[in-house]
Amino acid sequence: MENPLEWGDGGRGRRVVVIGGGVVGSLIAKSLQFDADLTFIDPKDYFEIPWASLRATVEPLFAERSLIHHKDYLANGRLIVSEVTNITNKEVLTADGHQVTYDYLVVATGHYDHLPVTRIDRLEEYQTENEKIKAAHSILIVGGGPTGVELAAEIAVDFPQKKVTLVHDGSRLLEFIDPKASDKTLEWLKTRMWK
Ligand SMILES: Cc1cc2nc3c(=O)[nH]c(=O)nc-3n(C[C@H](O)[C@H](O)[C@H](O)COP(=O)(O)OP(=O)(O)OC[C@H]3O[C@@H](n4cnc5c(N)ncnc54)[C@H](O)[C@@H]3O)c2cc1C
């Protein structure tokens, strides 16, 4: 993998550095790429649609569409696949030794998961998780928040024969939403998981 990737004419405007290739950073980098001298820094060479991750866990082929190489939507600018380790008032420093000067800085680091660096390795990770689900007779999910509920539902839809147990210590599932929606969620799960 080339790092950094150079593409297009490099831009002639102000030096803009965007840190973080999640939803916010990727969208900003895509939008600014022809209007600035852009440097885009992310520890991964791909953007991942976060709300597709649980579907991708039960259906790895889905990840083919939800993992997008940064260079597939960026035609102009410079991509550095590395972690930012320090920021001064004029420069950004990366773990692989880049020192990038900026006029404008966008910090869109959201939260940091230790995800594989390459898209291909992330796809393999989904494949491995999926094989574990396929091989399991029963599956225990701890936590009845959005992730636990969604994962339980995704498994129940694709693997109706599996015994799925959801453990939750709250008074109801998805406590942050309206109780009626919470009840409906529980009813749906009961009909699919505890037939
Ligand atoms: C399973 C799941 C389902 C979700 N469903 C929804 C939904 O339905 N609707 C909704 O609105 N929201 C949903 N969300 C929340 C939504 O995904 C987040 O609000 C959104 O991802 C935040 O975007 P972000 O770009 O700020 O941060 P993130 O997506 O967290 O991206 C941060 C990026 O910064 C990079 N980064 C971190 N540290 C560094 C560093 N030091 N140097 C360089 N790069 C760094 C990371 O690698 C990452 O690429 C969901 C989240 C998950 C996990």
Helix axes 146-158, 179-193, angle to 10 degrees: 30
CATH class of the domain comprising 136-193: alpha beta
Rg of the chain taking only CA atoms, in angstroms: 21
- Percent of the chain past pLDDT 90, that is, above it, reads 89
Is 19 near ligand 1, meaning CB less than 6 Å away? yes
Could you check whether 5-120 and 136-193 share the same CATH topology?
yes
Domain regions of the chain by residue span: 5-120, 136-193
Which is more confident, 29 or 111? Answer: 29
pLDDT in tens, 39-98: 999 999 999 999 999 999 999 999 999 999 999 999 999 999 999 999 999 999 999 999
Task: For residue range 175-187, list pLDDT tens digits in order.
Answer: 999 999 999 999 9
Mean pLDDT of the chain: 93
- Rounded to an integer, the average pLDDT of 152-156 is 96
Q: How confident is the model at residue 23 (pLDDT cuts 50, 70, 90)?
A: very high
Distance, CA of 171 to CA of 179 (rounded, Å): 10
Q: For the residues 27-40, what does the mean pLDDT come to?
A: 96
What pLDDT shows up at residue 112? 84
Residue nearest to atom 14 of ligand 1 (CA): 51
Q: What angle do CA 22, 47, 119 make, to 5 degrees?
A: 140
For residue 51, report the distance from its CA to the centre of ligand 1, in Å: 9
Nearest CA to ligand 1 atom 30: 110
| pLDDT for residue 193 | 77
| CATH fold for domain 5-120 | FAD/NAD(P)-binding domain (3.50.50)
Predicted confidence at residue 13, as pLDDT, reads 73
What is 60-114 written as a DSSP string?
Answer: GGGHHHHEEEHHHH--SEEEEES-EEEE-SSEEEETTS-EEE-SEEEE-------
Rounded average pLDDT over 123-140: 97
Rounded to 10 degrees, the C-alpha dihedral 6/8/37/3 comes to -10
**Residue bearing the CA closest to ligand 1, atom 13:** 51
Q: State if residue 145 touches ligand 1 by the CB under 6 angstroms criterion.
A: no
